[in-house]
Structure 1
Amino acid sequence: MSDLHGTGGRPQVVVVGGGIAGLATAHRLLGSGARVTVLEGSGRLGGKLHAGEIEGVRVDLGAESMLARRPEAVALAREVGLADRLQPPATATASLWNRGELRPMPKGHVMGVPADASSLSGVLSREGLARIERDRELPPTEVGEDIAVGEYVAARVGREVVDRLVEPLLGGVYAGDAYRLSLRMAVPQLYEAARSHGSLLDGVADLQRKAAERQQTGPVFMGIEGGVGALPLAVAEAVRARGGAIELDTEVEAVEWSGDRWVVRPRSAAAIEADAVVLAVPAPHAARLLDLPAPAAAAELRTIEYASMALTTLAYRRADIELPAGSGFLVPPVDGHRIKASTFASQKWGWIADENPGLVVLRASMGRYGETEILQRPDEELTEIAQQDLKAAVGLSARPVATRVTRWNDGLPQYPVGHHARVARIRGQLDHLPGLAVAGAAYDGVGIPAVIASGYGAADEVLGGAGTIGA
């Protein structure tokens, strides 16, 4: 084509998907001088970042916090005008509902893996504690290109560490199975430590020493007053302020390469011609759109599995309940309970307590990879299950004054062993298509900063690739 960058030398880019990945992509593109249109198939922006309310109090109905030690999410929040609403947790002290008792989450671990057994008395059995100490006596475990988290950790320090410490933490992040999840993708710092240390304990201790040397200060996590669901809405406002277009209820049914431009075909709107396209949608949707231009990539995308989960939010009169201190608790699946975690939201986030001091808000989540039966139950049953487990865990017998159930069907992509190679193949199969990229939680990380980074990477990629269109 004679004008590679559209009208006035500015490339036209279509971003498919209005979650935080797509909106971050659009924001980055506009800052680099592109013209951008975001097409979102639903009637709401933000994807799994979803702010709502219960009894007049603003709460998150999806993800509730951002990793602050990685810069992308906090920096973007500041850039779009949310600096004065950033808040760290009022308390970061979590517990473990282990063998029928709430116990403080052990300190000094990396995704549940300790540097020694000294803090685990009462969490593990005597046999489990003794097994940890054998780590330094064992020959190195070969991790190769990848290995399952559970397989590696169990080989070094025993299954009890996996079942009672690693599983509840990974379940909160991925809703996954530690014996399937990739060490390289899910806990990359442990993967690198495993490659350089024969002993897992020595590897964790080395990671802790390096973290201390970096002297990282400040909170590990950060929230936003009103909920992190405010972030995508603020990014969307910034996108519009920069001249970007955002269309809701605009499902894309086809993306085609015409030989010198992309043609994006929404189901119920006119086709859009573009110099570049970013697919910031879940893997199954991306696969459908890539069937024609990149069938090999589409086939790989269809192999990415997802876990579903449900979040029950409950509001109680403060006078009716008394909670233990801390931000909530995690639940080892080996104990057979139905919830996998509970957050004491009013204790974790100061702004929730401030908005209604007479109310206490809790969250309880259910659903791990492979668990489908419980998530098929009606909202009323899920609410009752949450209350039963909360009663068993913290003695909560009062009835809530309000409840909400939010379902995230196929909400969390799974990263099984070899996922890094799958993602590399997908991107390699798109290399021959100029100005086309993918972004989102399915590729390089499910946390908010990682998803934002994937959007930035896709934006940079298509702006570079746009210059080769038609070459």
Structure 2
Amino acid sequence: MSDRTSEQTGTRPHVVVVGGGISGLAAALRLRTLRPGVDVTMLEGSPRLGGSLRVEEVGGVRVDVGAEAVLHRRPEATGLAREVGLGEDLVHPVTTAAQLWNRGRLVRLPRTLMGVPTDLRSLDGVLSPAGVARAALDAVLPATELGEEDVSVGHLVEERLGAEVVDRLVEPLLGGVYAGHAREISARAAVPQVVALLARDRALSRAARDALPPADQPVAPVFAGLRGGVGRLPGAVAAAATAAGVTVRTGATVRDLVRRPGDGWHLVVGSAHDPELVAADAVVLATPGRATARLLSDVAPAAALTLARLDLASVAIVTLAVRAADLPPVAGSGFLVPPVDGRAIKASTFSFAKWAWVREAGAADDLLLLRCSLGRHREEEVLQRGDDELAALAVADLGEAVGTTVLPVDVHVQRWGGALPQYAVGHLDRVASVRREVGRLPGLAVCGSAYDGVGVPACIASAELAVAEVLLRLDTMGP
């Protein structure tokens, strides 16, 4: 077995970022922009960069087949897009008015704060009469006192508003973010804004109403996208990082992480029969939770065990190109599906209606682009079907929802295996324990979707936190 060793020349500090998703890319770029005198290498095991941000061609139109929007109210993703030259391509949805495919018919999705309705009158036609009556008890129930306790989102909302609000509003909304179960997902980690409502008013729905601006008041857009797809962002960040002097390597799997005698780190890269030893003064692990667990198993075993126990959900995105003449008029940006109704799909986005650039891109060929998502935590059996069968399930459900037989002219199936970590009750404490143990190892930091949020802005924020920790270490290093 051959053994190659890569050392940086001179006395410049060397930081290695492991993982080429948006977290790793953001970390690598930020390291170089904040410390131009630091050598930075980014190692990605797969042949491509970007993680779950990806653009593919469907019906001749390049569209997102992963995340298609970012939170505009957080500055990290839109700020990074501007930094890497994509500012002029930032766009906002034409409409965010969504529907609910509820008990076999499409109804307007009531206005909510993460599933907490702001007007109980809007629940008629969404909940049963008994469900509406139970939700009304929110106004007279004693105040809910959590103290420092963490509970599931479902437990909190069900205690105030009843099971039907959870099943028909909270579940479909959270399903689009975590592909998980509301009665298992941590309220403090996933929806801290809902927990904060408890301090505003004993009635959760009344507090949600007061926390949101009036429905008729103009507000800043909640979401942003990129003309040509959010999947363009990783390539632009990688190009900016390379231009800034980052060494970007794909197909470079890190198999082991070892503390170097004296100080610093060694990373074992490549195949078992031809390993390469890469030396680093500091390391940022921007890999998914379980990959990070494997790398931490010898140096931070307790943190590794915590990350290894993090449950994951797999999902699939089925993107369809349909002739405009073959689709009846549809309202809004798409629809959500309550899991309790037992459908295969959990949501559908009318991309052509949501994004002006998608409609324009398909107009030349009279095509409309739509997408459906499938798969939830512990319900991945639907994803074990072949691509053709998975697409057929999506087409059948979509057709039933909109009231016609959908005849796509092109279909793309994108699978995201284990892409969504599940923030179970107690998640914040587990993350804090991981960071405490990792923080005891000089020059090591972690970031990504396993910690502070699964959205693009949250991943970028976690990368910036990891960079700050690593740079603090470098600033205290001797010559």
TM-score computed with the length of structure 1 as normaliser? 0.95
Shift of 1:35: 1.9
Question: 2:151 maps to which residue?
Answer: 147
Question: 2:298 maps to which residue?
Answer: 292
Letter in structure 1 aligned against 2:382: I
State the number of aligned residues: 462
1:349-364 map, 5 Å: 349-357=355-363, 358-364=366-372
Matching of residue 225 in structure 1 with residue 227 in structure 2: yes
Please identify, of 251-260 and 234-243, the stretch whose mean Cα deviation from structure 2 is larger: 251-260
Question: 2:259 maps to which residue?
Answer: 257
Shift of 1:350: 1.2
Question: 1:411 maps to which residue?
Answer: 419
**Contact 2:98–2:108 under 8 Å retained in 1:** yes
Letter in structure 1 aligned against 2:440: H
1:37-436 map, 5 Å: 37-107=41-111, 109-143=112-146, 144-195=148-199, 197-208=201-212, 217-258=219-260, 259-268=262-271, 270-357=276-363, 358-436=366-444
Shift of 1:208: 2.1
Shift of 1:105: 1.3
Shift of 1:9: 6.5
Matching of residue 460 in structure 1 with residue 468 in structure 2: yes
Matching of residue 26 in structure 1 with residue 34 in structure 2: no
For the residue of structure 1 that corresponds to 2:255, the secondary structure is: strand
Shift of 1:327: 0.9
In 1, Cα distance between the equivalents of 2:455 and 2:367?
A: 29
| Aligned-residue RMSD, C-alpha | 1.8
**Contact 2:316–2:414 under 8 Å retained in 1:** yes
Shift of 1:341: 0.2
Letter in structure 2 aligned against 1:90: V
**Contact 2:107–2:126 under 8 Å retained in 1:** yes
Deviation track 1:223-281 (CA, whole Å, cap 9, x = no partner) reads: 10111000111000000010111000000001111131111111245322111100001
Shift of 1:136: 2.4
For the residue of structure 1 that corresponds to 2:120, the secondary structure is: coil
Runs (5+) with no aligned partner, structure 2: 1-7
In 2, Cα distance between the equivalents of 1:281 and 1:343?
A: 29
In 1, Cα distance between the equivalents of 2:389 and 2:25?
A: 35
Please identify, of 459-468 and 413-422, the stretch whose mean Cα deviation from structure 2 is larger: 459-468
Deviation track 1:120-145 (CA, whole Å, cap 9, x = no partner) reads: 22111211111122112212223242
**Contact 1:49–1:63 under 8 Å retained in 2:** yes
Deviation track 1:90-140 (CA, whole Å, cap 9, x = no partner) reads: 221111101111111112x21110133022221112111111221122122
For the residue of structure 1 that corresponds to 2:302, the secondary structure is: helix
In 2, Cα distance between the equivalents of 1:370 and 1:142?
A: 31
In 2, Cα distance between the equivalents of 1:185 and 1:69?
A: 18
Deviation track 1:406-457 (CA, whole Å, cap 9, x = no partner) reads: 1111010000100000000000111210110110000000111111100111
For the residue of structure 2 that corresponds to 1:229, the secondary structure is: helix
**Contact 1:261–1:469 under 8 Å retained in 2:** no
In 2, Cα distance between the equivalents of 1:222 and 1:196?
A: 29
**Contact 2:29–2:237 under 8 Å retained in 1:** yes
In 2, Cα distance between the equivalents of 1:80 and 1:8?
A: 30
**Contact 2:362–2:369 under 8 Å retained in 1:** no
In 2, Cα distance between the equivalents of 1:81 and 1:10?
A: 29
Letter in structure 1 aligned against 2:114: M
For the residue of structure 2 that corresponds to 1:140, the secondary structure is: coil
Deviation track 1:293-334 (CA, whole Å, cap 9, x = no partner) reads: 111111111111100011111111112222412111000011
In 2, Cα distance between the equivalents of 1:216 and 1:296?
A: 49
Letter in structure 2 aligned against 1:73: A
Runs (5+) with no aligned partner, structure 1: 1-5
Letter in structure 2 aligned against 1:304: L
Question: 1:3 maps to which residue?
Answer: none
Deviation track 1:21-49 (CA, whole Å, cap 9, x = no partner) reads: 00011111111113211100001100000
Shift of 1:161: 0.5
**Contact 1:434–1:466 under 8 Å retained in 2:** no
In 2, Cα distance between the equivalents of 1:470 and 1:411?
A: 40
TM-score computed with the length of structure 2 as normaliser? 0.93
